[in-house]
Amino acid sequence: MPSLLSNPPTQMRLLIILLLLFPAGLYAQKDRIDTFIENAMTRQQIVGLAVGVIKNGKVIKAKGYGQANLELNTPVTTKTVFKLGSVSKHLIAVAIMKMTQEGKLKLDDPVTKFYPDAPSHWSAITIRHLLNHTSGLVRESPIFDGMAAQPDSLLIRAAYKDSLVFPTGSKWQYCNLGYFILADIIRQTDKRSFSEYMQKEIFKKNGLLTTQVTSLDNLVYNRAGGYVRLGGDTITNALNYVALRPSGAFLSTIDDMLKWEMLIQEGKILSKERWLQMWQDLAKTNDIDKSYGYGWYVTRYKNRKTVFHGGSLPGFRSQYFRFPDERTAIIILTNSEPSNPAIIAQGIADIIL
């Protein structure tokens, strides 16, 4: 019996039906995103980039562009592993909130509960102050060295001698040291290392099988190299910190970060009320248009509530934009400095919103 597809008129009718059913708007939109990203990468001279886009609760883009490793000529894919930088902060905040949900911690617990030897000027600092950068502590430990492996507790106690930058709770100032303290509070509360707790309780239990604490010792398959543009065509390998830096602790992929966004949208790990608290219990920042919750900045973009954070480590830049009311998110991971993934995320927002 001859195939129906051997009949040209039948082929034409089928083609017309397929064209009518095909979600052309979605794929045209995808093409616009591709073109925009490729042009932005050329302008910014970005080596490699991975993007994940969720609109109305559905993934509409997950793709890699450029090179993960120039020396090996390895392309970026959705499984390429990037350093997140300070996008990591809200992941630590989630671990703290999980412990509050389980009754193991309270947001109003004073830091001196965990550091009884802390100086008296630390006595008013609570976990909430650490989360939203209103503690008054100095931004960095005075002995932090990216090329030295040092216990968090040593770095924290080194800051005892420093005066507060402002009275606790009276102002806002970005503070990486606060997230070192939060990581150590997780360790003290759980009795496992911060790394082990995050790996087992936050990542693996929730299907994030690639996301992990940064390590130079572990084999990390599909790890991206980090690169620095020195001007013109000159590019070098970026410095690779030896130190684990809780304020920018984690490695991840676009595939895992898209899973993470859906965990947020579906109210997993935390109750929906506690997720909302992370971007509703706010401190006013030095920018009148921005506030800060628990590991997230909060502002408005295109008259929409926008929850976001960027990340920066040598050779890596990242950006995570969320529009919670629209169940929409844009995640950008790059292995280039300087680069500005926030501009790229905003451009994608202009296309899809």
Q: What does the pLDDT look like over 21-40, one tens digit per residue?
A: 444 444 445 589 999 999 99
Q: Write out the two tokens for 212.
A: 């992990």
pLDDT score of 41 more than 60: yes
Confidence label for 253 from pLDDT (cuts 50, 70 and 90): very high
3-class secondary-structure state, position 284: strand
CA atoms of 301 and 250, how far apart (whole Å): 27
Number of Cα atoms under 13 Å in the Cβ half of residue 349: 27
Q: What is the dihedral of CA 253, 256, 257, 258, to 10 degrees?
A: 120
Residue count of the chain? 353
The pair phi, psi for residue 293, each rounded to 5°, is -100, -125
pLDDT of residue 35: 96
Is the pLDDT at 18 greater than 60? The verdict is no
pLDDT for the residue 244: 80
What contacts 322, CB < 8 A, 6 or more positions away? 261, 264, 296, 306, 307, 308, 328, 329
pLDDT of residue 13: 53
